[in-house]
Amino acid sequence: MNRVLNYPGSKWSSAERIINLFPTHKAYLEPFAGSLAVFLNKPPDVLETINDIDGRLINMWRVMRNQPEELARLVELTPYSRKEYELSKLKSDVDLEDARRILIKCWFSVGGKSDGGFRRNVKWTGPYNTKTWQSMPSRIIQAAERLKDAQIECSNAIELIEKMNDVDTLIYADPPYLNETVSSKTHYKFGMADEQHLALLSALKNHRGPVILSGYNSGLYAEELNGWAKIEFDSATGNVGQKKKIAIECLWCNFDPVEQMNIFDID
């Protein structure tokens, strides 16, 4: 599926690699929804739950699921303009309108960051922001069908992980990066302190089913996830409209990922 949301740390370019590691499971939990790049590209499961602490973001996904045609029409009528970007920073009391504003905020902002500034074209060579925005109505309709398969939560991720502790539940966790591994203070609206990362890792280590965790190398993760399998790969960082840099992305697994990989997955 084409990119539906321009969002910090989104996994649109690596979703297939991550999905190819999925072991056999019956239920699926994504406690940090973000752009839902992995969920929107994976095959459906019997039970699927997506969650995020950001109420405006979850409202957007809920509206996209329940009112896709209305949202697509509003987006179609929205010009790519600085005025719309500035308006998007203000929360609307109308769910449908606020969903439109969140889409604008993510797509019109540099890097999709919480306060990245208005992203405009300055060169004819691209990227072509207006062309991408014009394709959003069709992307909304496509994503809406997939969203109908999921339970949509807006809860504390750690509490939800603990409640869904089942041997047949696969967790793909893509939490906000550790503060020490990102340079921008506006990278996320809802970041996580080191203490919150420790609590998350504790909950994931106690999970009885398979877990895949995304992140960057850090001393904290290395110490806490000692014994877990780790896969490293080059990842182009920076969202649409940004100059790309290469970073080392990591996937930690509490199972043997080699059993899930085929020859084309191995660098």
Residue 258 lies in a domain: yes
Residue 214 lies in a domain: yes
Rounded Cα–Cα distance for residues 201 and 192 (Å): 12
Residue 259 lies in a domain: yes
Residue 191 lies in a domain: yes
Range of the domain at 231: 15-265
Q: Residue 9: its pLDDT value, please?
A: 84
For 171-195, the pLDDT digits (tens) are 999 999 998 877 655 555 778 999 9
Query: How high does pLDDT run on average in the chain?
Result: 89
Residue 2 lies in a domain: no
Rounded Cα–Cα distance for residues 37 and 39 (Å): 6
Is the pLDDT at 261 greater than 80? The verdict is: no
Answer yes or no: pTM beyond 0.85: yes
Residue 1 lies in a domain: no
pLDDT band at 113 (very low <50, low <70, confident <90, very high): low
Name the domain count of the chain: 1
Highest mean pLDDT among 5-9, 10-14, 39-43, 111-115: 39-43
- CATH code for the domain in which residue 234 is found: 3.40.50.150
Residue 110 lies in a domain: yes
Residue 5 lies in a domain: no
Residues 187, 8 contacting (CB under 8 angstroms): yes
Q: Burial code of 94-117, b = ≥16 C-beta within 10 A, e = fewer?
A: ebbebbbbbbbbbbbbbbbbbebe
- For 251-265, what is the mean pLDDT? 75
Strands across the sheet with 245-253, in order? 151-153, 47-51, 27-30, 169-173, 211-215, 245-253, 229-237
Residues 187, 242 contacting (CB under 8 angstroms): no
pLDDT band at 266 (very low <50, low <70, confident <90, very high): very low
